[in-house]
Structure 1
Amino acid sequence: MNGYAIRAIYLFEMARTWRTLMQSIASPVLSTSLYFVVFGSAIGSRMAEIDGVSYGAFIVPGLVMLSILTESLSNASFGIYMPRFSGTIYEVLSAPVSAAEIVLGYVGAAATKSVILGAIILLTARLFVPYGIQHPGWMLAFLLLTSITFSLFGFIIGVWADSFEKLQVVPMMIITPLTFLGGSFYSIDMLPPFWRTLTLFNPVVYLVSGFRWSFFGVADVHVGVSLAMTLAFMAACLLVIWRVFATGYKLKN
């Protein structure tokens, strides 16, 4: 394992974050804070508790997950797309660096950014609503797994995209709607039976549910199912990335 190569790619990607703090950190935190003001304070104060949890606290895991999913995708996809766009990816591919080391560098940096952002949003939420974390170990595990999994997914999007417009298609047109419809702002038990069954086909439901369970001990689906679905999606992303490097899809040809 070439640790120097992984470290070089990782530090290069992290340096880009510190150069664009307003876009990478400040903007998502500000947007999430507005959600807390509108939904947590203004609307939440007029809503009943959900599963014994105040509405303002109930939406905290969903809002954190919303930010992590979108930022993991955008950071990882942009990180691999720009070298392809500028042509510098060929320098990386021609160097004595394996596919696993390339993925570790890019995905590791994107996941680190998402974890940092998630931690900042959790601290910011304290300014608006009180909440507790019943299972901090599981909370950290879901935070890491989700950041890594969607960074892998973002890496795939960055390889697939051949324009800046395509980089935004999946996050804006697919992931964000699925997150809003995945129980970020409500419990799917509040839905009629037909729509609740239909919602279970939304993979984001399992991510939000597992993450919320780590906070309050309540979940829409069993935490074991949430963990299994997350790991299955991670395995699928790893398989696709392996295939990308094995065939050279949009990297070597």
Structure 2
Amino acid sequence: MNTHGVWAIYRFEMARALRTLWQSLVTPVITTSLYFVVFGGAIGSRMQEVGGVGYGSFIVPGLIMLSLLTQSIGNASIGIYFPKFTGTIFELLSAPVSAMEMVLGYVGAAATKSVVLGLIILATSALFVPLRIEHPLAMVAFLILTSVTFSLFGFIIGVWAKGFEQLNFVPALLVTPLTFLGGAFYSIDMLPQPWRTVSLFNPVVYLVSGFRWSFFGQGDVDVGYSLAFTAGFMALCLGVIAWIFRTGYRLKN
């Protein structure tokens, strides 16, 4: 493996995050704090507990997952889109770096930034509400697995996008609404039928539920289903990326 090539891509992407520190780190933390003020203060004063967990604490996994999904997709998509936009992608494709090594560099950097952001939001949450993490190793595993999986998804979006409008289309019009409707701020058990059954077709439900289980030992769906969905989606993304490099789809033309 060309470790120097992987490290060069990884270091460049991490340096770009430091140059845009306000957008990459400070803004999501401030936004999450506002969620606590609005949801925790307004709704939490009327709905004290959900499943025996204080409402303010209950929404922490959902808030972290919301930031994790959007940032993972955004970081990875913009990382591969800019070389396409500037034309330097051809230099990268002709360099002695394999497709796997290129993906490792871009996706590794995007996932690292997302995990760091998730941990910072977790620390920020502790300033607002009492937290307990019953399964810390599972929490870290879900954090890393989700970051890597959706960074791979973001890489695909960055290759597919022909402009900045398409680059923001999936996160803004698909991922964020699905997260809001995926139990980030409520338990789907609170929904009447048939809406509870309909919610089970929302893939984000499984991500939020599994992550919440690692905190409180309870979730809307079995944690095994959450792991199976995340692993399956990762395998699907890897298959799509392999096809992209095999065909040169929107990379070589």
Please state which band the TM-score falls in when normalised by the shorter chain. Answer: over 0.9
**Contact (CA 8 Å) 1:178, 1:204: kept in 2 or not?**
yes
1:127 matched to which residue of 2?
Answer: 127
Provide, for residues 138-190 of structure 1, a one-character-per-residue CA deviation record: whole Å limited to 9, x for no partner: 00000001000000000000000010111110000000000000000000001
Alignment partner of 1:193: what SS? coil
Alignment partner of 1:184: what SS? coil
Q: CA deviation at 1:28?
A: 0.6
1:205 matched to which residue of 2?
Answer: 205
Q: Say whether residues 1:105 and 2:83 are aligned partners.
A: no
Aligned-residue CA RMSD (Å) = 0.6
Aligned length: 253
Q: Say whether residues 1:164 and 2:160 are aligned partners.
A: no
Alignment partner of 2:130: what SS? coil
Q: Say whether residues 1:36 and 2:36 are aligned partners.
A: yes
Structure 1 distance, partners of 2:33, 2:78, is 25
Structure 1: 4+ residue segments shifted above 2 A: none
Structure 2 distance, partners of 1:241, 1:133, is 35
Structure 1 distance, partners of 2:67, 2:215, is 17
Q: CA deviation at 1:193?
A: 2.1
Alignment partner of 2:122: what SS? helix
Structure 1 distance, partners of 2:248, 2:195, is 41
Alignment partner of 1:46: what SS? coil
**Contact (CA 8 Å) 1:161, 1:167: kept in 2 or not?**
yes
Q: CA deviation at 1:101?
A: 0.2
Pairing of 1:181-196 with structure 2 (within 5 A) = 181-196=181-196
Q: CA deviation at 1:127?
A: 0.9
User: Match of 2:39, as an amino acid?
Assistant: F
Provide, for residues 108-136 of structure 1, a one-character-per-residue CA deviation record: whole Å limited to 9, x for no partner: 00000000000000000011101100000
Pairing of 1:36-75 with structure 2 (within 5 A) = 36-75=36-75
User: Match of 1:10, as an amino acid?
Assistant: Y
**Contact (CA 8 Å) 1:10, 1:105: kept in 2 or not?**
yes
Q: CA deviation at 1:40?
A: 1.4
Provide, for residues 192-239 of structure 1, a one-character-per-residue CA deviation record: whole Å limited to 9, x for no partner: 121111111110000000000000001000000100000000000000
Counting aligned pairs with the same residue, the percent is: 71
Structure 1 distance, partners of 2:205, 2:187, is 10
55-64 or 186-195, larger mean C-alpha shift: 186-195
In structure 1, list runs of 5 or more residues that go unmatched. none
Structure 2 distance, partners of 1:167, 1:27, is 19
Q: CA deviation at 1:47?
A: 1.0
Pairing of 1:136-175 with structure 2 (within 5 A) = 136-175=136-175
TM-score (norm 2): 0.99
Provide, for residues 93-115 of structure 1, a one-character-per-residue CA deviation record: whole Å limited to 9, x for no partner: 00111000000000000000000
Provide, for residues 19-38 of structure 1, a one-character-per-residue CA deviation record: whole Å limited to 9, x for no partner: 11100000011001100111
Q: Say whether residues 1:88 and 2:116 are aligned partners.
A: no
**Contact (CA 8 Å) 1:41, 1:128: kept in 2 or not?**
no
Alignment partner of 1:249: what SS? coil
In structure 2, list runs of 5 or more residues that go unmatched. none
TM-score (norm 1): 0.99
Structure 1 distance, partners of 2:101, 2:86, is 21
Alignment partner of 2:48: what SS? coil
**Contact (CA 8 Å) 1:209, 1:226: kept in 2 or not?**
yes
Structure 1 distance, partners of 2:126, 2:43, is 17
1:217 matched to which residue of 2?
Answer: 217
